[in-house]
Structure 1
Amino acid sequence: EDQKSQDSGDAGRYDDEAELFAEDFQAGYVKNLLRLQQEVIKIPGSEEHYDIYLARTLYPVLLPGIELLSREIDRLTNKESANKIDPSIRARFNPCIFLAEYLMRNNPTHGAKLEYAELFEQYARVEKIRRFFQAKRQKIFKHFTLQEFNSNFRKCDIAPYIQALDLLLLMDRKLIEAFDVEELWPEVDANETVGFDAFYETLSRWAVDQTDLTYEDFARIDLDRNERLHDFKKK
């Protein structure tokens, strides 16, 4: 069991490294940055994860700033350009001030367009949905075991279960309307067994890849509970 867990972890690490060094380096870098934190930490008084909050608000401006700072340090310390730069410039150079000035000039609240902003927003959304389905797996499995078809879950049972799951998650038929069984299992016969694990893996992957439903759509049950709790505390 330990060996399987280690092998799975190694496979995940290699997948992450492959993404990081793939042709689309920026996307791989952003995605891996959001996966670095193993333990999820929530912002006090909020359901938002701290690293995802940073990914939406800070990383898009901080990352290019650090890249520019690295290039500037390289320029100032490069032996080939040593004779071309006034020594007083190198002596006065302060990395903290350089980065602070960059962040001030490129503050997105003042209209600055950030190179990484769209990527971070995109992958923050993906990561939130991915984590949601990771966290809800056990609860959804318990719900699944209460269904009459749980011991012989077939393709023809998927649509009825999606209806039950939509109700459980308070998704107001959004899951029912967006989830296409035939599109996801085109080669599987109606009476062929699917099983919970294969179903949940496909559901999770579909949720991450699709663009019609948001994290808020999937997490409605949690958001509603938090709103009710907040209202209760105010009374």
Structure 2
Amino acid sequence: MQVISLAEARQSRQAITLPNGTRAWLSFYLGKHSFRAGSAHEASELHPTAYLVEQDANTEIPPHYHQPDQFQLFTDGDGMVGRWTLNPIMVQFAGHNTPYGPIKSGSRGLEYMTLRNGWDPGAKWMPQAREELKNAVPNRRRSHITNPIVPLNAAQLEKIQTDCVSLLHEEDGLQIKVYHLAQGQTILGPDPATGKGQFWFVVGGSGSAGESSIQDRSCIFVEPHAAAAQLTASFTALQAIMMQFPRDPP
């Protein structure tokens, strides 16, 4: 299990400008060393990558797709992804080689986590990469996007009861769950062996994951063969989102 704080991720913050002129800032939690790496990797290999995107206001990232499966967790701002109006917090899952977008930011800009479990050679822009997509790996999945997840303020966190809300659960292991932990309470996450890696993201409160402390905007990655994540709320309650990647098809 790997645990990274927002403060640690901010140390890598850097600006990028996309081919269409859109600017965004990236802060890497995991995987900066393999971001757009120059060598090829097998699709089955595990290469967890997690970074915060801060997209400038009133800009657009054109439709595109990526080689690995991907979650995007929209945490702040306003805008649209494809035909969906974003009302953060929301989670989008896009399967490997599945086009999505455009991502349009509104007047407040957009902040979102990009989470992958595999190596990515870079965005494949549409419609330019349409022919390449025809030869991509088969069995592509459609995109999913959740209903808004209401982030709890400090007063609400003090009153919550420990529970778990499942937003998506499929037979191949794809899962999205929201956990609420009352003060001092502990939960055990799903068995990681049922999927191909889990990302956890703290959206409120503080506590611990195993022996590591966690707080607002901490990110956790749990490998498929690791023990189930154990989260404990501290003197404040805790709200966290768990996103598990599906297993590879047989």
Whether TM exceeds 0.5 here: the answer is: no
Higher helix proportion: 1
> Which structure's CA Rg is the greater one?
1
Higher RCO (CA 8 Å, separation ≥ 6 residues): 2
Higher strand proportion: 2
